[in-house]
Amino acid sequence: MDDEYEKFIRRMNPPRVVIDNESCKNATIIQVDSANKHGILLEVVQVLTDLNLVITKAYISSDGGWFMDVFNVTNQEGNKITDEAMLDYIMKSLGPDSCFASSMRRSVGVTAGMDHTSIELIGSDRPGLLSEVSAVLTNLKCNVVNAEVWTHNTRAAAIMQVIDEEHGGAITDPERLSTMKQLLCNVLRGSNKLRDAKTIVSDGVSHTERRLHQLMFADRDYERTTGEGLDDKDRPNVNVVNWQDKDYSVVTIKCKDRPKLLFDTICTLTDMQYVVFHGNVDAEGPQAHQEYCIRHVDGSPVKSDAERQRVIQCLEAAIERRVSEGLKLELCTTDRVGLLSDVTRIFRENSLTVTRAEVTTRAGKALNIFYVRDSSGYPVDAKIIESVRQTIGQTILRVKGNIEELNPVPQESPTRFLFGGLFKSRSFCNFGLVRSYS
């Protein structure tokens, strides 16, 4: 009945979207007016974020049953949005004909899909974990076509989309899926008996980044002991106070700006069952400032100091999860079964641990991003990075970021000839895989 009532209200009060490229000299203004409901702010932010738009300013108001948001957005180069196809997509995605009203349910649930199998993983982080997970999947004749991996506060979460090596579709055999879940759980659990590990296998899709936040939130990665996490100078400044006159709790966030920051904070507040009634976001400089007037869905502000501390910890964790610690490496080559396993094994054998990863496959090409650091905690050695690049291929694996700090090693790596054909054939798969999961 609630769903039917929402549809009725939506038909009576269809969303209105106004896109203005004239009023602001350095940004496109997008205004969205709609009947209000819980989660609508996240849905709008999610649409804009998925288009890789940068939100430099935002004004939020949702009192009185009506939702009105104004966003100043640019593309990744800092320019206004002038592409007609993208502007048309924004209008259709957020306007009267949109279906984003149901995207909340899609993002947290699973819908049927036959092109791949989706795997959700959560467990204790450790050096070489991604290598071992990838080795298990390769040994089960699964090809990883898309994946995103986050690590935070000794925990690791991943969503991986795999296809069957033989027929290139989703894996449907129940026995094979059960074996996959068991082996992956063994790898994730490792030697840590105090924390649980979880593997969920489905034939559906979800909004990857939203789901990663939910997995880590449910795993309570926001709980930390003194001294863990980022240095104090890098840690976000989050504060929560009650505005007694208005019966709101006011959340203020000050931290270094980065892509998708607004999505991460709104996602967390929504998943914690808080409603943003008013908000102001300013991210035009290197620092981002966010201020929200919130209440719990039951209508109450933050009731206790313990609740206040939990809100602060959860927002800090949401901001930190996507912070990329380590050296950024980009890999681009022809995709094949076992590619991710081979690359991450080379990382592990050179004492590199992956702190975050984005794996994508487009038109038969693997486009992967890895953030790596030394397993011992020391700064990454330039000679090791150069040796890894020569092993994999210098044109295939590129260093991004602080490349000037890496001193090139002119001599040939002795392993180059051994692994020279690594990316030209599947023969490397026969060298033997990590079997610590057995």
Kindly list the structural domains of the chain, giving each domain's residue range(s) and its CATH number in brackets, ordered by start: 1-101+251-299 (no CATH), 327-400 (3.30.70.260)
pLDDT along the chain (438 residues), means of 10: 55 80 94 85 93 95 84 95 94 75 34 71 93 95 94 94 89 90 89 69 74 94 68 82 91 95 96 95 93 94 96 96 89 94 96 95 94 88 94 93 48 39 38 37
**How many angstroms from the chain centroid is the CA of residue 47?**
15
What pLDDT does residue 205 have?
55
- How much is the pTM? 0.83
pLDDT at 251: 98
Query: How big is the CA angle at 280 (ends 278 and 285), to the nearest 5 degrees?
Result: 170
Written as one letter, the residue type at 191 is: S
Match 């033989």 to its residue by tokens. 166
Q: Strands of 54-61's sheet, edge to edge?
A: 16-20, 28-35, 66-74, 54-61, 274-282, 287-296, 248-256, 237-243
Q: Please report the pLDDT score of residue 432 as a whole number.
A: 36
What crossing angle do the helices spanning 339-349 and 129-139 adopt, rounded to 10°? 150
Q: How many CA atoms lie within 13 A of 364 on its CB side?
A: 1
Helix (H, G, I), strand (E, B) or coil at 186: helix
Count the neighbouring beta carbons within 10 Å of the beta carbon of residue 344. Answer: 27
Beta strands in 283-401 (DSSP E): 287-296, 327-334, 352-362, 365-374, 397-400
pLDDT reported for residue 115: 84
SS3 278: strand
Task: Identify whether the C-beta of residue 242 lies closer than 8 Å to the C-beta of residue 302.
Answer: yes
Whether 122 contacts 219, CB under 8 Å = yes
Q: What is the pLDDT of residue 189?
A: 84
